[in-house]
Amino acid sequence: MSETENETTEPTAEAETPAPAAEEPATTEAEEVEAPETAEEAAGETDEAEPGDAPAAAEAEAPAAPVKKQRPRKHVPRSERRTRTKPARERPATRKPIVRLPKPEGERGRRQERRGVVVSSAMDKTIVVKVDVIKMHPRYKKVIRRSQKFHAHDERNQANVGDVVRIVETRPLSKTKNWRLAEVVEVAK
């Protein structure tokens, strides 16, 4: 008698346990689409299993396991990649002619000017001009004298040593010449 009781109690215990679908949280629509239920599985979950149907209920529960999503590979060959279609562009009936407009003549950038004393005129069409700069130190307020030498282009060789001249910045004329003589301000005595 104990054997029959055990047999009868086991199936009823399985029948009393809630179905796995009831234990799972609410599923999204995407998950429902991935794992469609057949009519037999749906019928097996709703009807309570009888003592003789215990193995059938276990088989119905097994396919209801969650389906793993495959992760996309990091590198996919170009031939296997997804292709996106480009929208067709409207083609004009006639092509526009290429029109070249004249360049507007803009004013050149302001050129720097310096005043200095000619130190050397030994080279042909080149003079060396020493420009003295006197300024006050921003923190210590001491007057600082600095001098810098520039090579300037003198087309007519008109400047001599000791002349005070005005030089203007210009395009690079050689490796060291970026200045040209504008005028001789004061002739040396």
pLDDT in tens, 99-125: 888 877 767 678 899 999 999 999 999
**What pLDDT is recorded for position 22?**
45
For residues 120 and 147, what is the distance between their CA atoms, to the nearest angstrom?
Answer: 15
Does residue 55 lie in a domain region? yes
Run of H or E including 151: strand 143-153
Q: Between 179 and 101, whose confidence is greater? A: 179
Does residue 122 lie in a domain region? yes
Does residue 150 lie in a domain region? yes
Based on the structure, what is the number of domains in the chain?
2
Structure tokens belonging to residue 136: 């006050």
CATH of the domain at 156: 2.40.50.140
- Which of 155, 178, 154 minimizes the C-alpha distance to 165? 154
Q: Do both 125 and 182 map to the same domain?
A: yes
- pLDDT of 130 > 50? The answer is yes
**What pLDDT is recorded for position 175?**
96
Does residue 90 lie in a domain region? no
Does residue 72 lie in a domain region? no
CB 51 within 8 A of CB 7: yes
| Domain around 59 | 2-64
Helix (H, G, I), strand (E, B) or coil at 79: helix
